[in-house]
Structure 1
Amino acid sequence: MNFHEVRFPAPLSMGSSGGPERRTEIVALRNGAEERNTPWRHSRRRYDAGLGVRSLDDLAEVIAFFEARRGQLYGFRWKDWADFKSCAPSARPAATDQRIGTGDGVTRAFPLAKSYGADADAYARPIRKPVAGSVSVAVAGETLVAEAFTLDPASGLVTLAEAPTEGVFVTAGFEFDVPVRFDTDRIAVSVTGFAAGEIPSVPVIEVRV
């Protein structure tokens, strides 16, 4: 996949709007009941980067980033300020935040994930773009030293130096980005209109990686 491991300017994404999107197919039955299903296992996020643009310098920075990605051609990292940690936004990530696997005495590689909800209704979201240096890992509640695991920041795969024993939980804490691309090959803006308060639309959409 065409993807650049660079982040959209975080101060500009802070002012953006957006969030998760689901696709639900609903069939109305003759008796008035409904059947609901979804072809998507995972949600997909959309954002508008234009809402974070406050000055001509901001606009120039967005255009430069857009050109470097060749429009829709290359994906990039995006910081979703409403959801970028393994914990609550106001908390600091801890190695026991999210369960990412259970030891079997053999497996050493575990993909990062974040759970939403609880018990049987919980949704596990794959985390493919963790922030390097933010990830901590624990086995059976004991935080591992940095030398005891490696992280692939391009895929979110954690590999332990030793396979955890059977039945023990592997957990992790982290910050992460969303893999996205521009959802347009054109940015149209009038400098006169921008000075008068007109905000350009710069749609961004999550990609599967």
Structure 2
Amino acid sequence: MAFFEELFPARISQDAEGGPRFITSKAYSAAGQRIANREATYPLHEYSIAHPPRSQEDFEALRAFFYVVGGDADAFRFKDWSDFRATQENSNLTRIAGDQFQLNRLYIFGTRTFVRPISKPMNGVIVWRNHGGVWSQASAVVNTATGRVTVSGHSDGDIYVWEGMFHVPVAFKDPSAVWKVLGGPRMITEWAGIELEEVRL
């Protein structure tokens, strides 16, 4: 599988339904107790677009996109309009090794925090460093293809957050497409069953 560093048509993705799906297994004991296990640390996001493009121009862009990624062969960027922005309050960076860090989006409720690695940030990410209790903009190089960051002048104890926008890496679920031409003077083409699934990079 290759990755196509282009964005699925954003005007069409506005109509998407979906979200995260955790990979779990569960069973019930003879006494009725529910036993559940997480089979993977992170969920995979899935999306369904059930509305047709609103213009033939939109459909032409969608059809061309499907051809150039080879159906379900290659992955690409997708904008989840419900969750595409990181702020200083809902983000952090975790250290990989040396001066290499990973961008994360945080989800906090009560005493729990879920850390979601972000692998497809957009250009324009700003990294902030807390050094000795003082916040300042860090000198950092962000790899928009991986979400990894190289920070200059890191010191032990430094804390990092970031702000910017990001995409979800996805692929078409189905290798085939099914569309139909609607009647009327404009002959709009409809493709109502678009299914996308997140891929791990």
Q: Could you tell me which residue of structure 2 aligns to residue 185 of structure 1?
A: 175
Deviation at 1:8, TM superposition (A): 0.6
Measured against aligned partners, the alpha-carbon deviations of 1:158-181 in whole angstroms (never above 9, x if no partner) come to 1111122x2231111121000001
Q: Which residue of 1 aligns with 2:128?
A: 138
Question: One-letter code of the match for 1:202?
Answer: I
Backbone CA RMSD of aligned residues: 2.3
1:157 aligns with 2:132: no
What is the Cα deviation at residue 120 of structure 1? 5.1
CA shift for structure 1 position 196: 9.2
Alpha-carbon offset, residue 197 of structure 1 = 9.8
Gaps of 5+ in 2: none
Name the CA distance, whole Å, in 2 between partners of 1:51 and 1:19.
17
Kindly provide the amino acid, as one letter, of the partner of residue 180 in structure 2.
S
**1:75-90 superposed matches below 5 A:** 75-86=75-86
Q: Matched residues in 2 for 1:118 and 1:111: separation?
A: 22
SS in 2 for 1:54: coil
Q: Taking structure 1 as reference, are residues 110 and 57 closer, same or farther at Cα in structure 2, changes over 3 Å only?
A: same
Whole-angstrom CA distance in 1 between matches of 2:85 and 2:12? 19
In structure 1, C-alpha distance between the alignment counterparts of 2:81 and 2:117, rounded to whole Å: 18
Q: Tell me the equivalent position of 2:2.
A: 2
Give the gaps of 5 or more residues in structure 1: 87-92
Alpha-carbon spacing, 1:47–1:207, altered in 2? closer, same or farther (3 Å): same
Residue 50 of structure 1 contacts residue 200 of structure 1 at CA under 8 Å; is this kept in 2? yes
Please report the TM-score for the alignment, with normalisation by the length of structure 1.
Answer: 0.84
Aligned partners of 2:53 and 2:190 also within 8 Å: no
More strand by share: 2
Q: Give the SS at the match of 1:48.
A: strand
**Superposition deviation, residue 14 in structure 1:** 0.8
Q: 1:22, 1:176 → 2: CA distance? A: 21
